């Protein structure tokens, strides 16, 4: 559940510019508002407390001076007169308060035999010991914040020593901080609510502004998708004269250019396909006539001079190549025209691999090349067009023999849940980086310096790729200079079935878990 929710959130984050802008605005504005709020609260709190401290110390100065004057004026310094004077001082100082809850006063006797005087419930126990020690040590004014009473009400207590020779007292003022605390709480709540509303307002503004920009971009993306799907006449609506309108105009001009170029390419491709098909077809008749004459000359070469006999053989070989080229050109033109139709039937792929290896045996013998074939013991029955897959396998195997530099060619067949794979590996020159995508191009050669008289028509791998795609399969290549190359044909078990993970890796370094292919000649594979 959590993983699914996380996936949805990530998908929404990656897929929506408006969401990213809104969330980023929320986070950044929230951070800014938070920092400003903390700074302002610190300033307000410091201002309130400083004002309270100044007021408290001013009141304490007056009280100390008044108490000192009153106690110094005692004529007879006995306990009764001191206690009476202390009561008068406490009453006088308390009466100066603007309201009953402004502050309380405590005249604390430092002599154990002398009683302390206080107003209301301000008792000696409410004075923190640290504050009392600070006043006693320094004989100066001191203050501290504390909490008093059963409700632990916040308060500021300030005190100092009464400078009198007739009595030993310390004067303390207790200033309740409840009102200041409520004021700070109110300011905090107000700032929190105002900051939250400000952040939400900024997010809403960012969402609205972003939507004005994103909506045309989304419309452009939808139009581009329709163009990619083949609806080349779709265009964006141009509204206004701003930058987005300029974008729409530029997009429409680009679409018109693309439409014209695609139309031209389609027409050129159609003409090219028609030309290739017509030329290939028209050449059939003269080639047939030349073939008949060449066959007569080839059969009579024993009565010819060596030079004429060699010429007759060369003519026969080149006619074979020319007919193969015409057949490949016709096949390519049929693929281009979409006129190819599959004729699938259940076939044991082992027999097709065996026939392809046997057919390549004469070429392998001339090049002193051997085969190492790895086939499963159980039948590998797939629904394919046997003629086309046989042609694909022969192209791959003959290509490996011609480029294998006389080294053994490895052929491996495997079936699995992901489909059926056939890999053909040679240990020849190999492919340079980037050539694995070029190797299936028409008339492309890895070594341009090679004479065209060697090898096939240059269309074999292109036709093999089209045949693999026609079956819903893949034809892929791998190669490294000096390590040879690998071609992998992957087919579904039957047409219309999706292909999963191929049972054979494309990179031969990943095949450590597979058994080594055993050497096998073409005759041995015939009976598979």
Question: Per-residue pLDDT tens for 75-129?
Answer: 666 777 778 888 888 888 887 776 767 888 888 887 776 777 777 778 888 889 8
Residues 377 and 307 occupy one common structural domain:
no
The answer to the question of residue 391 being in a domain is: yes
Distance CA 37, CA 375 (A): 76
Residues 368 and 514 occupy one common structural domain:
yes
Over residues 400-425, mean pLDDT: 88
Measured CA to CA in angstroms, residue 97 lies from 55, 86, 102, 280, 364 at distances of 12, 18, 6, 118, 118
Residue 527 pLDDT exceeds 70: no
Distance CA 289, CA 213 (A): 70
Residues 129 and 264 occupy one common structural domain:
no
Residues 312 and 349 occupy one common structural domain:
no
Residues 313 and 351 occupy one common structural domain:
no
Nearest CA to 344 among 252, 503, 168, 473?
473
Residues 300 and 357 occupy one common structural domain:
no
Q: What are the tokens at 146?
A: 């504390």
* pLDDT score recorded for residue 525: 36
Out of 140, 162, 183, a domain closes at 183
Out of 183, 202, 226, a domain closes at 183
The answer to the question of residue 500 being in a domain is: yes
The answer to the question of residue 221 being in a domain is: no
Best-predicted range by mean pLDDT (111-120, 190-199, 503-512): 190-199
Residues 46 and 178 occupy one common structural domain:
yes
Distance CA 477, CA 506 (A): 7
Distance CA 391, CA 397 (A): 10
Q: How confident is the model at residue 261 (pLDDT cuts 50, 70, 90)?
A: confident
Residue 528 pLDDT exceeds 60: no
Its domain, for residue 414, covers: 345-526
Nearest CA to 283 among 218, 228, 333?
333
**Of residues 434 and 487, more confidently modeled:** 487
Share of residues in the chain with pLDDT > 70 (%): 88
* pLDDT score recorded for residue 412: 92
**Of residues 517 and 274, more confidently modeled:** 274
Handedness of CA 271, 273, 275, 278 (dihedral sign): negative
* pLDDT score recorded for residue 411: 92
The answer to the question of residue 393 being in a domain is: yes
* pLDDT score recorded for residue 96: 79
Residue 333 pLDDT exceeds 80: no
Over residues 310-335, mean pLDDT: 74
Beta-bridged to residue 108, according to DSSP, are: 170
Q: Is residue 173 helix, strand or coil?
A: strand
Question: Residues near 479 by Cβ (< 8 Å), separated by ≥ 6?
Answer: 430, 431, 432, 435, 436, 439, 485, 486
Residues 75 and 147 occupy one common structural domain:
yes
Distance CA 508, CA 256 (A): 47
Distance CA 367, CA 388 (A): 26
**337-385 pLDDT tens trace:** 666 777 889 999 999 999 999 988 888 888 888 888 989 988 899 999 8
The answer to the question of residue 227 being in a domain is: no
The answer to the question of residue 7 being in a domain is: no
Average pLDDT, the chain: 81
**141-150 pLDDT tens trace:** 898 998 887 7
SS3 content of the chain, % helix, strand, coil (to 5): 55, 15, 30
Q: What are the tokens at 134?
A: 């600070």
Alpha helices in 150-304 (DSSP H): 178-228, 243-299
Residue 452 pLDDT exceeds 50: no
Q: What are the tokens at 227?
A: 């163009």
The answer to the question of residue 215 being in a domain is: no
C-alpha gyration radius of the chain: 50
Residue 140 pLDDT exceeds 70: yes
Residues 392 and 465 occupy one common structural domain:
yes
The answer to the question of residue 211 being in a domain is: no
Our count of domains for the chain comes to 3
Of 202-216, 288-302, 448-462, the range with the lowest mean pLDDT is: 448-462
- Strand order across the beta sheet in which 153-161 lies: 117-118, 104-109, 169-176, 153-161, 142-148
Residue 441 pLDDT exceeds 80: no
Other Cβ atoms closer than 10 A to 521: 15
- Here the CATH number for the domain that contains residue 417 is 3.30.565.10
* pLDDT score recorded for residue 234: 81
Residue 455 pLDDT exceeds 60: no
Residues 315 and 365 occupy one common structural domain:
no
* pLDDT score recorded for residue 119: 74
Residues 369 and 319 occupy one common structural domain:
no
**34-58 pLDDT tens trace:** 999 899 998 998 998 899 889 889 9
- Here the CATH number for the domain that contains residue 135 is 3.30.450
* pLDDT score recorded for residue 39: 92
Of 91-105, 382-396, 448-462, the range with the lowest mean pLDDT is: 448-462
Residue 507 pLDDT exceeds 60: yes
- Here the CATH number for the domain that contains residue 319 is 1.10.287.130
Contact, 103 vs 175, CB < 8 A? yes
Residue 2 pLDDT exceeds 50: yes
Helices (H) and strands (E) in the chain, counts: 12, 13
Burial of 265 (0-12, 13-18, 19+ CB in 10 A): exposed
Best-predicted range by mean pLDDT (37-46, 96-105, 234-243, 428-437): 37-46
Over residues 172-194, mean pLDDT: 90
**275-286 pLDDT tens trace:** 766 766 677 777
**Of residues 266 and 142, more confidently modeled:** 142
Out of 336, 363, 391, a domain closes at 336
Residue 305 pLDDT exceeds 60: yes
Q: How many residues does the chain have?
A: 528
Distance CA 365, CA 406 (A): 9
Other Cβ atoms closer than 10 A to 439: 20
Nearest CA to 162 among 144, 137, 140?
140
Question: Residues near 171 by Cβ (< 8 Å), separated by ≥ 6?
Answer: 60, 63, 64, 67, 105, 106, 107, 108, 159, 160, 161, 162
Residue 503, phi then psi, degrees to nearest 5: -75, -10
Residues 352 and 441 occupy one common structural domain:
yes
């Amino acid at each position: 559940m959590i993983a699914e929710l996380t996936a949805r959130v990530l998908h929404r984050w990656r897929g929506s510019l408006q969401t990213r802008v809104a969330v980023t605005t929320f986070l950044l504005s929230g951070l800014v508002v938070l920092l400003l709020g903390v700074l302002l609260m610190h300033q307000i709190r410091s201002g309130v407390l400083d004002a309270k401290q100044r007021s408290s110390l001013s009141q304490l100065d007056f009280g100390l001076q008044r108490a000192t004057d009153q106690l110094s004026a005692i004529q007879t310094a006995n306990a009764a007169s001191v206690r009476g004077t202390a009561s008068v001082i406490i009453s006088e100082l308390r009466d100066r308060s603007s309201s009953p809850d402004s502050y309380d006063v405590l005249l604390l006797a430092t002599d154990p035999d002398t009683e302390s005087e206080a107003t209301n419930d301000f008792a000696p126990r409410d004075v923190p010991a640290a504050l009392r020690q600070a006043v006693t040590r320094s004989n100066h004014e001191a203050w501290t914040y504390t909490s008093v009473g059963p409700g632990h009400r916040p308060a500021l207590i300030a005190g100092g020593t009464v400078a009198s020779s007739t009595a030993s007292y310390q004067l303390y003022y207790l200033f309740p901080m409840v009102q200041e605390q409520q004021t700070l709480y109110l300011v905090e709540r107000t700032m929190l609510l105002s900051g939250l509303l400000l952040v939400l307002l900024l997010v809403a503004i960012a969402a609205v502004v972003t939507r004005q920009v994103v909506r045309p971009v989304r419309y452009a993306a939808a139009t581009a998708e329709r163009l990619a799907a083949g609806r080349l006449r779709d265009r964006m609506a141009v509204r206004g004269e701003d930058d987005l309108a300029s974008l729409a105009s530029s997009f429409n001009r680009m679409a018109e250019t693309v439409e014209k170029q695609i139309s031209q390419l389609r027409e050129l491709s159609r003409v090219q396909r028609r030309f290739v098909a017509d030329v290939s077809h028209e050449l059939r008749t003269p080639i047939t006539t030349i073939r008949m004459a060449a066959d007569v000359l080839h059969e009579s070469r024993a009565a010819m001079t060596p030079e004429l006999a060699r010429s007759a053989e060369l003519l026969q070989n080149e006619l074979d190549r020319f007919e193969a080229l015409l057949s490949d050109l016709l096949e390519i033109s049929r693929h281009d025209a979409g006129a190819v139709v599959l004729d699938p039937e259940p076939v044991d792929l082992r027999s097709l691999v065996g026939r392809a290896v046997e057919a390549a045996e004469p070429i392998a013998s001339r090049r002193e090349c051997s085969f190492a074939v790895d086939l499963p013991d159980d039948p590998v029955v797939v629904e394919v067009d046997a003629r086309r897959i046989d042609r694909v396998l022969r192209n791959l195997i003959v290509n490996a023999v011609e480029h294998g530099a006389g080294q053994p060619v490895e052929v491996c067949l495997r079936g699995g849940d992901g489909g059926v794979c056939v890999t053909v590996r040679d240990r020849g020159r190999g492919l340079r980086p980037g050539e694995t995508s070029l190797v299936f191009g028409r008339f492309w050669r890895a070594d341009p310096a090679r004479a065209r008289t060697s090898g096939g028509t240059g269309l074999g791998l292109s036709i093999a790729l089209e045949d693999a795609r026609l079956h819903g399969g893949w034809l892929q290549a791998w190669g490294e200079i000096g390590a040879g190359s690998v071609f992998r044909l992957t087919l579904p078990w039957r047409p219309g079935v999706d292909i999963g993970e191929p049972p054979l890796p494309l990179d031969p370094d990943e095949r450590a878990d597979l058994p080594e292919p055993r050497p096998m000649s073409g005759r041995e594979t015939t009976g598979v």
